[in-house]
Chain A
Amino acid sequence: MERDPRADVSPAHLAALAGLRLSDDEAGSFGNDLDRILAYMSLLSEVDTTGIAPLASPTAGASPLREDVPLREVSAAAVVALAPKSQDGAFVVPKILE
């Protein structure tokens, strides 16, 4: 018998993986929601998928590629202007090296 992977559901752990911060209240209520939703999703285990290949996209294989020509429809300045903080045409983030 395989171990139930749901045993590993911890909202705090998942939040850390997802770059989210949760309050204690949120962690509690999301934990309950995830338990219920994942219990419902265990319905999938009843389907016999032996020999079935995963389907990642309904596109039947061909994704048409365009010519490898650079397009500059949006200027770098317009993109950087959207940043919450920028300087000299670059994004500014909190210091990451001491």
Chain B
Amino acid sequence: MLSFETVDELLTRLARGEATARAITERALARIDARNDALGAFLAVTRDDALAAADEADRDRARGDAPKKLAGVPIAIKDALCMKGAPTTAASRVLANYVAPYEATVVTRLRAAGAVLVGKTNMDEFAMGSSTEHSAYFPCKNPWDTTRTPGGSSGGSAVAVAAGMATAALGSDTGGSIRQPAAYTGTVGLKPTYGRVSRYGLVAFASSLDQVGSFATDVRGAARVLEVVAGHDPHDATSSREPVPTFEASCGQDVRALRIGVLTESLGDGLAPDARASFEGALEALEGLGCTVSRVSLPSLRHAVATYYVLATAEASSNLSRFDGVRYGVRVMPTPTASLGEMIGASRDQGFGAEVKRRILLGTFVLTAGAFEAYYLKAQKVRRIVRDELLALLAGVDVLVSPTAPTEAFALGAHDRDPLAMYLSDVFTLPASLAGLPALSVPSGLSAGGLPLGLQIVGRPFDEATVVRVGAAFEAVSAFRASRPRP
């Protein structure tokens, strides 16, 4: 199964001359052609760009150049990231005709590392959703069961990797948008520390929360992709100057005596019995590896969903004010003599989908003079409590673990009439987002219905290395690895 190779296996075969980057790329493109209608993972396929990069990787190898870190590896890019010359829509109609005139720093870094960029992946519009059903174009479906969502908002990137259409992918994670789809699709998703990766060229949703991260079939692959894209970028003032270690080197390291804290509050009533059983199995596996596992308490988990949805919608209402039909994007003139205000209103009405409008209204409300203190400022204060509680816990343990999500992937349409129910499904991923901490989702097993479940590992700021180390050690003993999506 060529398409399901890990990044490391693929690079090894290329190095040995057992495959060419062109053959690997053609295989990935063929799989996209064969399955995208059914799965809806890609909004655009960048075939010519991909084949040109593959040929260059083959020429470099033929010349005997030192291999680049991702030379010849097919990688999919979430459509929230600008790829020069390719459409960048963030799955919104308002950007239907937008072709990026510049490139996200992370995309430029992937190219410099020899990656083969195969296309732009489907997502919830402006990353607002947990199911990739809120794409303005078509919903994305879970390859394990096409009546289920793949999670979101980076569902297309997760499915691209899960279905062998790409060996790795980039996503963005504001409140769990990499980790939750990784859990639902049986892939590995790595959200780094806030500030670890440049957001230059990422369509902004909630700027104090957004981070770019990686998907792959294994922890090592996700670590390698993150290593390539991480590091300070003068174009993004929030990107950190912290040195970037070789995250991949943490894979295979001993985890004996590492201290694991289990978030007790994540084991409450909302956790499905099969997800609980899988999580308890993961804890036994970690103990079997020699880790010390203890229960810890995060009382503020109860307030994470409310805090996040106040802050994220407030920031979104501000960030999305730029879509006005003037400088780029869709313009709608309701009548030939419409005023500027009428033009802006009509452009936004037709350009934005229902979930985006709902969040803009909510964010606008919490920023009104009457609600500012009770909602927005209050949520910022509770955010500090969440962060301080997490940092205090991480002073006593090396990583914190919980299930990535309370249930297996939910059915398409399950939350159509109840947006709050969808928001509540993000509960376990939100604390790390609010605190800006690195977090990984690694497959932990299958639900009673045979769908993937994930283990979330959260670390200290800029300590992705320990998160990766624990994730890789767990992955090596987890029974999940033999599983693959049903055809």
Contact = CB atoms under 8 A, between A and B. Distances in A.
Interface string A36-80: 111011011101010011111111100111110000011000110
B384 A54 contact: yes
A93 B343 contact: yes
Contact of B345 (A14, A19, A58): A19
The main secondary structure of chain B at its interface with chain A is helix
B365 interface: yes
B346 interface: yes
A55 B239 CA distance: 18
Given A26-B357, A59-B194, A64-B232, A44 B419 contact: no
Contacts of B435: 58
Nearest to B344: A19
Interface string B325-337: 1111111010001
A58 B362 CA distance: 23
A45 B194 contact: no
Contacts of A47: 300, 303, 378, 381-382, 385
Contacts of B380: 54-56
B375 A64 contact: no
Contacts of A91: 326-327
B101 A5 contact: no
A20 interface: yes
A1 interface: no
Interface in B204-255: 208, 232, 234-235, 237-241
Give the interface size bracket for B toward A: 35 or more
Most chain-B Cβ atoms within 10 A of its Cβ — which of A18, A55, A81? A55
A41 B375 contact: yes
A59 B378 CA distance: 19
B75 interface: no
A29 to B, nearest CB: 8
B436 interface: yes
Contacts of A63: 237-238
B340 A18 contact: no
Contacts of B360: 18, 20
B477 interface: no
A56 B314 CA distance: 12
B108 to A, nearest CB: 11
Given A19-B348, A44-B303, A84 B330 contact: yes
A37 B382 contact: no
A73 B102 CA distance: 8
B362 A34 contact: yes
B383 A55 contact: yes
Contacts of B329: 84
Contacts of A58: 194-195, 208, 387, 434-437, 461
A73 B99 CA distance: 16
B368 interface: yes
Contact of B365 (A34, A45, A54, A78): A34
Interface string B251-283: 000000000000000000000000000000000
B302 interface: yes
Given A54-B377, A54-B384, A82-B327, A21 B307 contact: no
Given A19-B345, A19-B348, A85-B331, A93 B340 contact: yes
Nearest to A84: B331
Interface string B460-484: 0100000000000000000000000
A34 B333 CA distance: 29
Contacts of B300: 47
